[in-house]
């Protein structure tokens, strides 16, 4: 299948492009390089430096003979969404609608969307399942929620064949310091450079960390499925910031203890996503990578970028 991957020069998008190519699909990448890097683009992919709101995108999708869209491009900075909600909405909502219009009129066979745990907000219970109330705490989370409603309605009104994958906190090679799993990159870079690492609050806050290759496998399986619906992509485990620090400290060989800073106001304290539904709808998928193994792979990549002899 010929697949358009938006945001394919970014962290998650480039790994997804790699996995799609390995599975035998053709990949076309559209990315404006606002946060992505051309170095992340697989050699076997066709790359276009283009914004998803570019009016020429529809014609590109038509001319390239795109059969499926894997929509990963987004404005992912929570703080930026609060400072500039208009820009967040333009990228995340209007950009998604433009792609849905292409899917509708060009009879795209499959539309996959990168959802987010940010739509849930403060959990009422753990693990959070797909039916949990949606109370986002930022415009970024709100834009993801609105996107999902548009996608479902395009499915109902126009027959767009879709699947929404709500990612937990993704981490792995090529990740920057922003986004929902960015704490791993921040800790890793500082540790490799021998700089202090700050833990905000008591370090007891938990997140559901999932390795990027497991996410990419879920996307490939979802693409090759005909299931319509919404699933969490998660490990269904809780890892505290203290546990993350200790595990990364061992992986890096970092000799220092963490510096303690004040807790961030408004942060969710405990978080974990249920993966029961994805196990039912896509039974070929299970998370395969332990936190220890995933961090070892991430640190090995980090040493090629952040070691002092690389500067």
Write the pLDDT tens digit of every residue in 267-278: 899 999 999 999
Residue 113: band (very low, low, confident or very high) from pLDDT cuts 50, 70, 90: very high
Instruction: For residues 90 and 223, state if they share a domain.
Output: yes
CA distances from 265 to 201, 215, 221, 260 (A): 10, 29, 38, 15
Instruction: For residues 94 and 181, state if they share a domain.
Output: no
Instruction: For residues 87 and 35, state if they share a domain.
Output: yes
- State the average pLDDT over residues 102-110: 98
Q: Could you confirm whether 140 is annotated as catalytic?
A: yes
Place of tokens 């053709």: 26
Distance of CA 240 to the CA centre of its chain: 20
CATH code where residue 134 lies = 3.40.50.720
47, 29 Cβ separation under 8 angstroms: yes
Instruction: For residues 201 and 249, state if they share a domain.
Output: yes
Instruction: For residues 213 and 267, state if they share a domain.
Output: no
For residue 102, give its domain range: 2-169+209-233
Instruction: For residues 11 and 150, state if they share a domain.
Output: yes
Instruction: For residues 165 and 85, state if they share a domain.
Output: yes
| 310: pLDDT strictly greater than 90 | no
For residue 290, what is the DSSP state?
A: -
Distance of CA 296 to the CA centre of its chain: 20
- Among candidate residues 200, 233, 266, the one where a domain is terminated: 233
6, 13 Cβ separation under 8 angstroms: yes
- 17 versus 309: the higher-pLDDT residue is 17
Residue 176: band (very low, low, confident or very high) from pLDDT cuts 50, 70, 90: confident
Say how far apart CA 246 and CA 291 lie, in whole Å: 12
Closest CA to 234 of 135, 128, 155, 136: 128
Say how far apart CA 155 and CA 14 lie, in whole Å: 27
| 229: pLDDT strictly greater than 90 | yes
Instruction: For residues 260 and 248, state if they share a domain.
Output: yes
pLDDT of 307 reads 84
Say how far apart CA 208 and CA 214 lie, in whole Å: 13
**Range in 67-71, 177-181, 288-292 the model is least confident about:** 177-181
Residue 182: band (very low, low, confident or very high) from pLDDT cuts 50, 70, 90: confident
26, 2 Cβ separation under 8 angstroms: yes
- State the average pLDDT over residues 190-205: 96
Instruction: For residues 277 and 306, state if they share a domain.
Output: yes
Q: What percent of the chain shows pLDDT beyond 90?
A: 93
Instruction: For residues 247 and 162, state if they share a domain.
Output: no
Say how far apart CA 202 and CA 183 lie, in whole Å: 15
Say how far apart CA 168 and CA 160 lie, in whole Å: 25
Number of domains in the chain: 2
pLDDT of 149 reads 98
Say how far apart CA 208 and CA 241 lie, in whole Å: 11
**SS3 assignment, position 289:** coil
pLDDT of 311 reads 53
275, 233 Cβ separation under 8 angstroms: yes
CATH code where residue 199 lies = 3.90.25.10
Query: The whole model's pTM is what?
Result: 0.96
Instruction: For residues 25 and 58, state if they share a domain.
Output: yes
Instruction: For residues 202 and 224, state if they share a domain.
Output: no
Please give the mean pLDDT across all residues of the chain: 96
Closest CA to 77 of 88, 61, 93: 88
pLDDT of 267 reads 84
Distance of CA 238 to the CA centre of its chain: 18
- State the average pLDDT over residues 13-30: 98
Select which of 120, 125, 140, 167 is catalytic: 140
């Amino acid at each position: 299948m010929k697949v358009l991957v938006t945001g394919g020069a970014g962290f998650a998008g480039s790994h997804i492009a790699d996995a799609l190519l390995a599975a035998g699909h053709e990949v076309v990448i559209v990315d404006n390089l606002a946060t992505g890097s051309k170095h992340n683009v697989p050699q076997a992919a066709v790359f276009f430096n283009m914004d998803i709101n570019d009016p020429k995108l529809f014609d590109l999708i038509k001319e390239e003979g795109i059969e499926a869209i894997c929509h990963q491009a987004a404005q992912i900075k929570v703080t930026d969404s609060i400072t500039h909600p208009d820009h967040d909405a333009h990228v995340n909502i209007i950009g998604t609608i433009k792609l849905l219009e292409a899917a509708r009129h060009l009879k795209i066979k499959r539309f996959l969307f990168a959802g987010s745990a940010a739509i849930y907000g403060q959990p009422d219970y753990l693990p959070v399942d797909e039916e949990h109330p949606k109370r986002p705490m930022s415009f970024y989370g709100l834009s993801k929620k609105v996107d999902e409603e548009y996608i479902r309605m395009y499915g109902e009104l126009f027959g767009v064949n879709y699947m929404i994958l709500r990612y937990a906190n993704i981490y792995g090679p090529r990740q920057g310091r922003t986004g929902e799993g960015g704490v791993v990159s921040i800790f890793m870079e500082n540790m490799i450079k021998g700089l202090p690492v700050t833990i905000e609050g008591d370090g007891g806050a938990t997140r559901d960390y999932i390795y990027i290759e497991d996410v990419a496998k879920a996307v490939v399986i979802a693409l090759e499925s005909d299931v319509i619906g919404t699933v969490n992509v998660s490990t269904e485990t809780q890892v505290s910031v203290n546990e993350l620090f200790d595990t990364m400290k061992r992986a890096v060989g970092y000799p220092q203890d963490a510096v303690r800073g004040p807790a961030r106001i408004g942060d969710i304290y405990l978080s974990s996503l249920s993966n029961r539904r994805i196990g039912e709808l896509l039974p070929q998928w299970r998370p395969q990578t332990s936190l220890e193994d995933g961090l070892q792979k991430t640190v090995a990549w980090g040493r090629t970028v952040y070691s002092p002899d690389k500067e």
